[in-house]
Structures are given as structure tokens and as C-alpha cells.
């Protein structure tokens, strides 16, 4: 295991939740991460500009699941900044999924019938280099507490919206007091039936699934769906399995969405192992996304023909409920675009 640094131990506070202490000790220097993994600093040569624009952030518990001395480790590849992120690639833009045009209020995105999405925070526990919101203007377009009344009134005027999605950043980066207050406000809207959390924290920071979180989840009148984000079976160690089991224990429905990433999970063996491990953890595979064409992430792109071949192979190996739907999100469309599996 990668140990806590003396500075991280000194910075911890007795009255803080464990997950907050874990975030303060997270790795922010790519050279430190490479040293811990016995890898050369040359791997990040030329990555200064991408690193300034989108800093590295990796919890130590997540880094501990990476293989030492393996530059191709699938977890490391998701978080390590590379010089090629600075390349300008045609078609790769800052807002690939049309979040800007979909803004219906402060941090409120309305793309699909019956559902609305709240950008609750710009904070995450890990900075994934393929993130489709790595350029999102969080300072100007998030549903901060000062905007809640505006958001509630906007939703109240649209009774057809019966599901609210909390996203970000990552909504579980908010403390439990703020989250519980937000959910209580949303519960005052009689048309709402479901609350969906899009979060990577149970995977990268399982300490976040603590008693405080479970308390308000258990008490909500809304049916709660938690869509986690895991791309590789190696992410799902025993600590993650325990966190997911605790969520299921308070009645949360668990789904997973993955992104198809070159050099991480772009083969049938990796995705089969992921689906099997997810099911062991009580999670159903939901979506397998083709990469959103966000500037800085073109090196992760996987051709559609390869993607369809992989999913056809999964269909031959797995029961249907363990095969995620292969989709692409396209700006301006009224639903995810499901990719046909042509032979």
C-alpha cells in the first residue's frame, strides 16, 4: 500500500470525517505519484501546460491499487497527465456534449424529457484525464446554495420533470449537511419521484460512504439511484465492495457507467472482467460510453468499429443483463444515441 505522508498525517483533524482527511492527503504532484510507483519522470515530459490547466488529483487509496513499475497500468493511465493532451485535434472541443446550450438556470441542465440535472459542485476526488467537463465553467454555471431557490422555482414550473440528477464535479464532494439540505428542498417538489446521483467517489474514495451519508439517503422519500463510474475491474477492491454493499443496504439502486478508453479497457477481456466484478459488488452495468470528444483527451479515443466488435464479443460471453449498452452522447439530441452492433 502507498503510505500516508508525514505532512498528510499532520494535516488530519480528529473531528473530520475520514474521507475529508483522505482528500487532504491526496496526491497532487505527478512526480510523487511516479516515485511511489517506481516509474520515471520522463513519462510526464512536456505535460506542463496540461497539468496547469487540469491539475493532477489522486486519492492515495486509489493509487494503491495501481501496479508498481507498470506505465501501462489501467488506473494510472486514467489520471496521469501527458504531453499529448496539449495537441489540438480536429473535432475535439471544450463542450462536446452541449452543456452550455442546455443550461436552464444556474447549474441546471435540461436535455431530456422528464429529467433535469444539477451541477452541484466543480470538485471531484480524482481528476480523470478524459473528463468531458474538464473545461466546464463551474464558477459561473453551478447550482450553488445561493441559487437553490431559483432552481426550485424553475423545476416547480415544469411538473413533467419527475427525476433529478445530481452531478458535477461530483455531488458527494459536498458535505452531508449541505447535501441533506439540498435533497430536502428537492423533496418539497411534489412531482419528483427519483433522485439520481452520478458519482465516482464510492470507487475512488470509498471512505465517503459513511454513516452520515447513509443516514440522509435512508430517510429520503425519493427512490435513489446511484450511478457509479468504474472503467476497470482493478478499481473495485474490497474497500469499494464494502462501500457499495452499504449503499445497497439503505435501499439504493446501483448502476455503473464506463467510458471506452484506449489503453485502459478497450478489449473484451477487460470489460468482461469489469462486468463480472460489478455484479459481485451488487452493481449492474448500465452504459458503455464512446469517448466524448473533449479537448485534451483524443489519445483515449477508440474507433466505433472496434467498440461494436468488443460489445458483440461481450454478448457472446455474458448474460444480457451484464452487457452495458454502447452509447454516444450527442449535443442537442433528446436521448443518448445507442450504437448499432453491425457485423
State the DSSP string of 280-297: HTT-EEEEEEPPP-BTT-
User: Any known ligand binding at 281?
Assistant: no
The shares of helix, strand and coil residues in the chain, as percent rounded to the nearest 5, are 40, 15, 45
Dihedral over alpha carbons 203, 176, 54, 9 (to 10 degrees):
-80
Biggest CA pair distance of the chain:
58
Q: Vertex 110, ends 104 and 116: CA angle to 5°?
A: 115
- With beta carbons less than 8 A apart as the criterion, state whether 303 and 261 touch: no
**Class of residue 130 by CB neighbours under 10 A (exposed 0-12, middle 13-18, buried 19+):** buried
131 is in an annotated binding site: yes
- Sheet of 325-328: strand order equals 103-105, 108-109, 115-119, 163-167, 194-199, 223-228, 253-259, 284-289, 325-328, 337-338
Within 8 A by CB and 6+ apart from 305, the residues are: none
With 0-12 / 13-18 / 19 or more C-beta atoms within 10 angstroms meaning exposed / middle / buried, residue 166 is buried
Name the strand (E) or helix (H) holding 148: helix 148-156
Q: Is 226 within any annotated ligand binding site? A: no
**Cα separations in angstroms, 278 against 84, 234, 261, 322:** 32, 11, 18, 9
Distance CA 289, CA 285 (A): 12
Please enumerate, by residue number, every residue annotated as part of a binding site. 124, 128, 131
Please enumerate, by residue number, every residue annotated as part of a binding site for [4Fe-4S] cluster. 124, 128, 131
Amino acid at each position: 500500500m502507498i503510505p500516508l505522508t508525514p505532512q498528510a498525517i499532520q494535516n488530519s483533524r480528529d473531528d473530520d470525517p475520514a474521507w475529508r482527511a483522505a482528500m487532504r492527503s491526496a496526491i497532487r504532484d505527478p512526480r510523487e505519484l511516479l516515485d511511489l510507483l517506481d516509474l520515471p519522470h520522463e513519462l510526464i515530459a512536456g505535460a506542463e501546460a496540461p497539468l496547469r490547466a487540469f491539475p493532477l488529483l489522486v486519492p492515495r487509496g486509489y493509487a494503491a491499487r495501481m501496479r508498481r513499475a507498470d506505465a501501462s497500468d489501467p488506473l494510472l493511465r486514467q489520471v496521469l497527465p501527458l504531453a499529448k493532451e496539449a495537441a489540438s485535434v480536429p473535432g475535439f472541443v471544450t463542450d462536446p456534449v452541449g452543456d452550455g446550450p442546455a443550461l436552464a438556470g444556474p447549474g441546471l441542465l435540461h436535455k431530456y424529457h422528464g429529467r433535469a440535472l444539477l451541477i452541484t459542485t466543480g470538485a471531484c476526488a480524482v481528476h480523470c484525464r478524459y473528463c468531458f467537463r474538464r473545461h466546464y465553467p463551474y464558477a459561473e454555471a453551478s447550482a450553488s446554495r445561493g441559487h437553490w431557490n431559483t432552481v426550485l422555482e424553475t423545476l416547480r414550473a415544469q411538473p413533467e420533470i419527475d427525476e433529478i440528477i445530481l452531478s458535477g464535479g461530483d455531488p458527494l464532494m459536498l458535505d452531508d449537511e449541505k447535501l441533506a439540505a439540498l435533497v430536502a428542498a428537492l423533496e418539497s417538489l411534489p412531482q419528483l419521484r427519483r433522485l439520481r446521483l452520478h458519482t465516482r467517489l464510492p470507487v475512488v474514495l470509498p471512505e465517503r460512504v459513511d454513516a452520515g451519508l447513509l443516514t440522509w439517503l435512508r430517510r429520503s422519500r425519493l427512490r435513489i439511484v446511484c450511478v457509479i463510474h468504474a472503467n476497470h475491474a482493478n478499481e473495485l477492491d474490497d474497500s469499494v465492495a464494502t462501500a457499495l454493499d452499504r449503499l445497497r443496504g439503505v435501499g439504493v439502486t446501483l448502476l455503473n457507467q464506463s467510458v471506452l478508453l484506449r489503453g485502459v479497457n478497450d478489449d473484451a477481456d477487460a470489460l468482461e472482467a469489469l462486468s463480472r466484478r460489478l455484479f459481485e459488488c451488487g452493481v449492474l452495468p448500465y452504459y458503455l460510453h464512446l469517448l466524448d470528444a473533449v479537448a485534451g483527451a483524443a489519445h483515449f479515443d477508440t474507433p466505433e468499429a472496434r467498440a461494436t466488435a468488443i460489445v458483440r464479443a461481450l454478448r457472446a460471453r455474458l448474460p444480457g443483463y451484464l452487457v452495458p449498452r454502447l452509447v454516444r452522447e450527442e449535443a442537442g439530441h433528446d436521448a443518448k444515441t445507442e450504437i448499432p452492433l453491425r457485423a
